[in-house]
Chains A and B, each alone.
Chain A
Amino acid sequence: MMEDTRIGLYVCWCGTNIAKMVDVEQVAKELGDLPNVVLSKTYKYMCSDPGQDMIIQDIQENNLNRVVVAACSPRIHELTFRRALANAGLNPYMFQMANIREQVSWVHTDREEATKKAKSLIAGAISRVAYHEALEKRTVEIDPATLILGGGIAGMSAALEIADAGKQVYLVEKKAQLGGQLLQVDLTFPFMYSAQQLRQMIIEKVVQHPNIQVFNNQVVEEVNGYIGNFSTQIKNGKKKETELKFGNVIVATGLKAFDPQGIEAYAYGKFPNVITSLEFEKMLLKGKIQTKEGKVPKNIAIIHCVGSRNKDYHEYCSRTCCMTALKFANQLKSAIPDSNVYELYADMRSFGKGCEELYTKTSTKGVTFLMFDQQDKLPEVIKAGKNDGCEMLIQMDEKLSGEEVEIPADLIVLMVGMEAHEDAKKTGHSVGISLCGNSFYIEKHPKLDPVATTTDGVYIVGNCQGPKDIPDSICQAKAAAARILGTINKKQVEIEVTTAFANEELCCGCQTCVQVCPYTALSYEEEKNISVVNEALCKGCGTCGSACPCGAISSRHFTDKQILSQIEGLMEMILQEEISEN
């Protein structure tokens, strides 16, 4: 230590929350005698303004250079006290908290034991804080351009929002045409707007927008960099590569339809007139509903939840199929009024604006609804006999009547669910975001931050985050656009301080750290035979530090020395207590 270590210790009562179970006065008195502790106080509420003012005043008057507060969980008030330190002119990282409320007073019942435990935790903190180092805030400039992966409705909506605000957008689409899933849809539920009209309207705007550069037939292999300073090369086959630089990324890569071939009971591929919902949409787009033999079907069965809500396929609900199926029933009834339409469903999920109304409306149109049990037994498609007057029969256990029933069918539409693209993992890896168990991308927080990811500057919108309908996708797209415009507006962004750093002298060039880093923050520099940390990418998990065989890498604010001294401090206190007892 260059200068004297002068630690101020503050023990909080937290009203009676701590004081009732921990003898705070005794703790403050005894620990005040530890080396380097120049001052030790208790106060009713350390987090209150007078509590913080007390710290600030003591720092200035007693020349404290380190502070320990024993109070609640650092997850609650660590930032509060760091701010107080900063206000007193001290580096905010010269601070350590001991959690004597959530980990002591609230969970233990013996006052003596609790007081002992509090003492050892605080001793650990005191011993640790002595090794704390001042860390400086870091900011990076934001490149105002944005890369959007995927030219579906979500990607295009986000692009327009950002471009309209005057910022550059690079819109990369894997296919030859913009539009994504909308290309395959006739009418949209529940209000029966034409998907093609919607698509054309939005595509026209996107293509003509001066701030949007569209790259059709192109894919992104690898995105390098960090928030504010990403770069990538996009490829058109193997021919041409374009280098792009941008500050934020929106992933809007969408979904793919479930392939029903694996479900034997539905005989998809076996009977030509068992088709998927997408194939049926194609018929609707052409305006001609007919069987493979070219006949107008009399009995049409629509089977819901194909590949969704079933433990054998996907456990989640695909959220749009029920409504699409009701839309089909309406379209069928108006195209072939004397047809019999059967909806075979597991549960009718008609949430959202206008959707329950669509269900009610459909139920009065002479559509027959039959309920099956997903877990028990799926409906089975079989060939009809000669006298059945139809081509196929569906046998099922109908849940609401409790009877075994058979349904005549000339055309069977399978409402296939949504699933993630096969290359979702690859795409995710290229931008540094991860997948949940169902291969959809994970959001930063499922409730509070549903469009951001744990990688700063990378956002997920639309169906790549989970199944959703058009309005939900657009909402997410515009939310992500707003977030991005916000960071662009600030021009610079603060990044993580508690990152790893490598000591070149100690590094042996083994590259163990490069392998364990989940953020590609570590790279190998061949010339010097060392690993280098890109601090902008590092999130400070510390895995590299613990993997490093030569101790060349340490994690700021969680250095070996800091943690070892914390262990030492708290263990010594326990032993000391034991000795004094005997």
Chain B
Amino acid sequence: MRYRVNPDLKLDLNRFGVKEDWQDCFHCGNCTAVCSLTEENILFPRRIIRNVQLGFKNKLVTDVDPWLCYYCGECSETCPREANPGELMMSFRRWLTIKYDWTGIARLFYKSLPAFLIAMIVVAIGIIVIGITKDFKAEAMMEFGHKFEKYVIYAVACLILLPNLLRMFWFVILKNKLKVPVFAYISNSLSLFVNLFTQKNYLKCEGDTFRWVEHLLIVIGYLGLLVITVFFNWFNTDSETVKWIGYIVGALVFIFTFDFVLKRSSKKRESSKFSHPSDWMFVVWLFLLGLTAFITRILVDAGAIENNLWVYFIHLIVIAQWGLLIVPFGKWTHFLYRAFAIYFSNLKQAALMK
């Protein structure tokens, strides 16, 4: 197959956060040499940088390897040309998410911060309007909120996330014309779930156990909070067990996301040197989500929610923005794509082995 060289991709990619440093790359291969993920068939970042430089769009969109990278930053530290290969990989993942997204909304949000902010404001206004219709009554609001969460989850999962995953599957497996044995789909499904919840491949990236633990605790906290509020109606439950589990997971979320925010603003780590607005939005909103949920439940316990409904109201706005915008079109998807990328990568290996 002959690929057309297309320098436009470079310009396109500049909108996804990366600076033009990576064009300095002269392919010494140091990045690939230090990368702990490098295997015989996985030679990134150098190979991906090359494909980006030459603009092989059709080839790049079928590439699953970028998702395997957890941005330990060693490649960027080692690069003799200071071309920041790690940051290119990060931006490239953002580019891939817009390629997977069938609605085109992700593309719009990445390209235009104002569009995203307007969408955030529109969602907030929507919640306010609903609040007005409910006369700002605590009981009605919370009942609405509980239902709203549930429907948003189902809708986003069915209408956005699932089709996008199928698109990813199409690009990575079908477009590459890989003949995956049926058995492989089943045998690898367990590791899919393990990876989805633990992101254990993170540990492969050497010397970063603490960051992984933090990450894992946030995932546990986030998923726990989701389950406990949506399926166990945490805000209105009488069960002591559910109540306390809720407190713990809620606290996990805002405590560790706060640490993430601090780290990102200190810019000490290679991976937090360059932050895209979508990165900030992700950690800050997750923090707000955990914090407002936690305070709301405290107020419920104290019987003061009626007088301090604004806290729940903010929580609801955060939830709505999170669920309608950040989860389907923002950085949240990385969480999903990463796990599936490992799954697809395993399928690919199985197909190639055959």
Contacts and interface: CB of A to CB of B under 8 A. Distances in A.
B4 interface: yes
B1 A405 contact: no
A408 B23 contact: no
B10 interface: yes
Contacts of B26: 348, 363, 369
Nearest to B10: A366
Interface stretch (A211-219, A322-330, A393-401): A393-401
B5 A364 contact: no
B12 to A, nearest CB: 12
A95 B24 CA distance: 66
A366 B23 CA distance: 7
Contacts of A363: 23-24, 26
A368 B53 contact: yes
A33 B79 CA distance: 77
Interface in B2-35: 2-5, 7, 10-11, 20-21, 23-24, 26-27
Interface string A405-417: 1111000000000
A360 interface: yes
B50 interface: yes
A277 to B, nearest CB: 21
Contacts of A578: none
A364 B20 CA distance: 7
B147 interface: no
Contacts of B21: 364
Q: Which of B3, B7, B51, B55 has most A Cβ within 10 Å?
A: B7
A342 interface: yes
A390 B244 CA distance: 68
B99 interface: no
A280 B322 CA distance: 57
B137 interface: no
Nearest to A394: B5
Given A368-B53, A401-B50, A406 B27 contact: no
Q: Which of B2, B10, B47 has most A Cβ within 10 Å?
A: B2
A401 B47 contact: yes
A403 interface: yes
A32 B300 CA distance: 124
Contacts of B51: 401
A38 B58 CA distance: 94
B52 to A, nearest CB: 10
Given A360-B81, A401-B47, A401-B50, A370 B5 contact: yes
A404 interface: yes
Nearest to B27: A400
A123 B343 CA distance: 88
A322 to B, nearest CB: 13
A366 B7 contact: yes
A374 interface: no
B24 A368 contact: no
Interface string B68-83: 0000000000000100
Contacts of A36: none
A340 interface: yes
Contact of B3 (A342, A368, A400, A403): A403
Contacts of A368: 5, 7, 53-55
B5 A407 contact: yes
B169 interface: no
B149 to A, nearest CB: 46
A398 B24 contact: no
B2 A405 contact: yes
A360 B80 CA distance: 12
Contacts of B7: 340, 366, 368
A366 B81 CA distance: 16
Interface in B42-99: 47, 50-51, 53-56, 59, 81
Contact of B54 (A348, A360, A366, A370): A370
A55 B52 CA distance: 78
A408 B56 CA distance: 14
A552 B185 CA distance: 98
Given A340-B7, A400-B27, A401-B47, A395 B53 contact: no
B63 to A, nearest CB: 12
A329 to B, nearest CB: 12
Interface string A253-282: 000000000000000000000000000000
A405 B4 contact: yes
A262 to B, nearest CB: 27
A404 B1 contact: yes
Nearest to A399: B27
B5 A406 contact: yes
A406 B3 CA distance: 6
B10 A398 contact: no
Interface in A342-358: 342, 348
Contacts of B47: 401
Contacts of B27: 371, 400
Nearest to A407: B5
A37 B92 CA distance: 91
Contacts of B1: 404
Nearest to B20: A364
Contacts of A348: 26
Interface in A33-68: none
B54 A398 contact: yes
A488 to B, nearest CB: 49
A401 B48 CA distance: 9
B83 to A, nearest CB: 9
Contacts of B81: 360
B22 to A, nearest CB: 10
A408 B50 contact: no
B316 to A, nearest CB: 46
Interface in B222-281: none
B2 A364 contact: no
Contacts of B3: 403-406
A137 to B, nearest CB: 59
A385 to B, nearest CB: 12
Contacts of A371: 27
A265 B59 CA distance: 27
* Nearest 3 A/B pairs, CB to CB: A401-B50, A404-B2, A407-B5
Given A340-B7, A404-B2, 9 more contacts: A366-B23, A368-B54, A370-B5, A395-B2, A401-B50, A401-B54, A401-B56, A403-B3, A404-B3
17 contacts: A342-B5, A360-B24, A363-B23, A363-B26, A364-B20, A366-B11, A366-B23, A371-B27, A400-B27, A400-B50, A401-B50, A403-B2, A404-B1, A405-B2, A405-B54, A405-B56, A408-B4
